[in-house]
Structure 1
Amino acid sequence: MPVFPATSPASSNLLPLSIGPLRIGFPVVQAALSGYSDLPMRVLARRHGASYSVCEVMLDQFLLAIGERRKTQHFLAIADEEHPVGGQLMGAEPEQFAAGAERLAAAGFDVIDINFGCPVKKVLGRCRGGFHLSQPDVALDIIRRTRDIVPAHLPVTVKMRRGIDDTDEARENFFRILDGAIEAGVAGVTVHGRTVAQRYIGPSRWSFLAEVTRHVAGRISVLGSGDLFSAADCLRMIAETGVDGVTVARGAIGNPWIFAQAQALAAGEPLPPPPSLPEQAAVIREHFRLIEQIYGPERAPLLMRKFAIKYSASHPQHETVRLRVVRLRSAEELWQVLEEFYATGEGQYPPEGIHRSQEE
């Protein structure tokens, strides 16, 4: 199995990623990111080399109630250029969950992804997300109902953490759910190397991903998640664990270039230099225009703020730029920042650890 050094070029014989009958391509893809991976972020990721992306997680109750209002219709918006794209779903009750999955399929998503990984306290308190890893019977009921109601040609996948905690019972529950999911017909599983109890504290245990890969033995596709903040991280996870692909979460916010960088390393080319400041400015403008198209000019500046903060990590004066964009309230203010800070000069790779305290 090839090993990809963290600081030197590497070549590989990476196999293209497939999820069931769906051929994805290069096996570094964009993860679902609550509050972030909307249509503009997904489109930019695709334009910069991501072969697949997943929408921000949606609640089954919300999906069943969503109407055609401009304020909410963006949740189900899909651009022609971003196929294949996954729709991720979260909920508590199996029957309602399946109905939400049916709505996602009808909206045009190419893969339906079941979220059993979210560690946020308010989600766990409502018996959603990662909570299901503590109740295998309910989890498997959700999986079976979802697979039954989603059209047969659409793959169903599951996002999991390595357990609710590090007890023996949690480990047994994880593999019971995994084996039951395979039996029910899921096409793939994404595994995050932390437990639900860990949330985002401490390192992701990549050795567990290798164990899952051996356990699955090619029956379904396995994607790895956790601590992927550079192109080298992505290829190293594949090399060390044998997963079929990786999903980049926090490392892709404000950093769509990570996908092309990973492709270059995988092809045996040198790591591309970080995008110059004018190149960054062009992408930020493009991102803002996409947000305007989806949400309207009134909402766009405030929605762009959280992304502008993430983009600032690639600026050599990132703290100064961050303090400017954190107060962003208008398009004019954004253009002023770009003119003042992004007109000329070289960029940088986001400093190591800058995203590690932020939730994915």
Structure 2
Amino acid sequence: MSPLPPLKIGPVEIGFPVVQAALSGYSDWPMRVLARRYGASYALNEVMLDRFAVEVKGRGKTQHHLRLTNEEHPVGGQLMGADPDAFPPAARRLVECGFDVIDINFGCPVKSAMGGCRGGYHLSQPDVALEIVRRVRDAVPDRIPVSVKMRRGIDDTAESRDRFFRILDGAFAIGVAAVTVHGRTVEQRYVGPSNWEFLREVKEQAGERTVLGSGDLFDAESCLRMIRETGVDGVTVARGAIANPWIFSQARALAAGEPLPPPPTVHEQRETMREHLGLCIETYGPQKGFGAFRKFAIKYTRLHPEYEQVRNDCATVRTLAEWDGYLQRWYSEDAPGQYPLVDETAEASAGSR
């Protein structure tokens, strides 16, 4: 296999073209740092509403939303909102906080976003979407690239397709450095396969301009296959990276022509969970940190050879003391792990926004 060209987003050098997507409720500082340590060359913060990004303080209960550290760079900040006037101050705030790329979310399919005329709703109104892009591009310094996240349309109608390409072409004309496209429609949410053929069409239309693909990337092989089959410049791993940071190092190995690394052993899983929990406690404090970690803990069980029993036991753990006992019961003896089996129905609530 020929080597994968390194990814760039405008002037920002990303490198290996398999990166971590923005994940609402998940891609906080601990998850992003862990992804970077395990091979992701770039990660996006969980999406923030435009007004919240302006109002959030650098201290107290909400300070973690804007937490960045040196080992994260380059790192992207994602914004979502309804009013074009609210985007410029939010974008400037993210730049002041140290984000290297500003990403605009035109892809979120959840009811709260659609009902609030945010996220994927903008795919139905190209004029408003492009005004948002223009406002953000004008608001931030030239050295800060702006990118856009889209789905392939509201639905599968010809009108929806036309609106998609109007936004795509218009955004590039305004000066966005990259566009990420999820192969499902907003109407689909997370049901049915992601349309990779559409990604090929988008890349053919974009030409030399940077396009990233998204959708159905749950293992390292799929990440590389999307790049090679569609021609996109890179891929963003969303649900496939939750409690599975190894996906990035596995993709790097395959891209280098090496065999697929075995799944992490039980002891390797244990040490990574301890690392992840430590990052959560550093961010939120002991009690809230463990609370933030629990939604990841249940997903780490997918890699355990006795998955069902371990998952059921994990669901009962409520305190750090109980967590220590749980690790002793299930992770004290080493054994080969397994690649995580992903239930699309169960995962749908943890979608990339």
**Structure 2 partner of 1:108:** 98
1:7-26 to structure 2, matched below 5 A, reads 11-26=1-16
Match of 1:45 among 19, 35, 51: 35
**Structure 1 partner of 2:21:** 31
Q: Cα deviation per residue 1:229-253 (whole Å; 9 max; x = unaligned)?
A: 0000000000100000000000000
1:290 and 2:271 are equivalent in the alignment: no
State the shift of 1:148 in Å: 0.3
Match of 2:258 among 265, 269, 283: 269
Letter in 1 for 2:262: P
Change (3 A) 1:224 1:143: same
Q: Cα deviation per residue 1:195-245 (whole Å; 9 max; x = unaligned)?
A: 000000000000000000000001x21000000000000000001000000
Letter in 1 for 2:273: I
Letter in 1 for 2:142: A
C-alpha contact 2:280 2:289 (8 A) present in aligned 1: yes
Match of 2:107 among 109, 117, 139: 117
1:140 and 2:130 are equivalent in the alignment: yes
CA distance in 1, matches of 2:7, 2:322: 41
1:339-358 to structure 2, matched below 5 A, reads 339-343=328-332, 344-353=334-343, 356-358=347-349
State the shift of 1:352 in Å: 4.7
CA distance in 1, matches of 2:258, 2:163: 42
C-alpha contact 2:24 2:350 (8 A) present in aligned 1: no
CA distance in 2, matches of 1:146, 1:26: 27
**Structure 2 partner of 1:281:** 270
RMSD between aligned alpha carbons? 1.1
CA distance in 2, matches of 1:291, 1:119: 28
Q: Percent identity?
A: 62
Aligned residues: 349
SS of the counterpart of 1:298?
helix
CA distance in 2, matches of 1:169, 1:327: 49
**Structure 2 partner of 1:157:** 147
CA distance in 2, matches of 1:56, 1:274: 27
Q: TM-score, normalised by structure 2?
A: 0.97
1:1-360 to structure 2, matched below 5 A, reads 11-218=1-208, 220-343=209-332, 344-353=334-343, 356-360=347-351
CA distance in 1, matches of 2:44, 2:25: 12
State the shift of 1:358 in Å: 4.2
C-alpha contact 1:30 1:249 (8 A) present in aligned 2: yes
CA distance in 2, matches of 1:87, 1:314: 30
CA distance in 1, matches of 2:322, 2:153: 45
State the shift of 1:328 in Å: 2.5
Q: Which has the higher helix share?
A: 2
CA distance in 1, matches of 2:347, 2:227: 20
CA distance in 2, matches of 1:324, 1:62: 37
State the shift of 1:356 in Å: 4.8
| Structure 2: unaligned runs, 5 residues or longer | none
Q: Cα deviation per residue 1:108-165 (whole Å; 9 max; x = unaligned)?
A: 0000000000000111000000000000010000000000001110100000000011
Q: Cα deviation per residue 1:286-310 (whole Å; 9 max; x = unaligned)?
A: 0001000110112112111100011
C-alpha contact 1:190 1:225 (8 A) present in aligned 2: yes
Letter in 1 for 2:71: E
CA distance in 1, matches of 2:348, 2:178: 28
SS of the counterpart of 2:14?
strand
State the shift of 1:68 in Å: 3.2
C-alpha contact 1:200 1:359 (8 A) present in aligned 2: no
Letter in 1 for 2:44: V
SS of the counterpart of 1:299?
helix
CA distance in 1, matches of 2:317, 2:212: 36
C-alpha contact 1:302 1:328 (8 A) present in aligned 2: no
CA distance in 2, matches of 1:223, 1:247: 7
CA distance in 2, matches of 1:67, 1:235: 40
Letter in 2 for 1:117: G
CA distance in 2, matches of 1:63, 1:275: 37
SS of the counterpart of 2:150?
strand
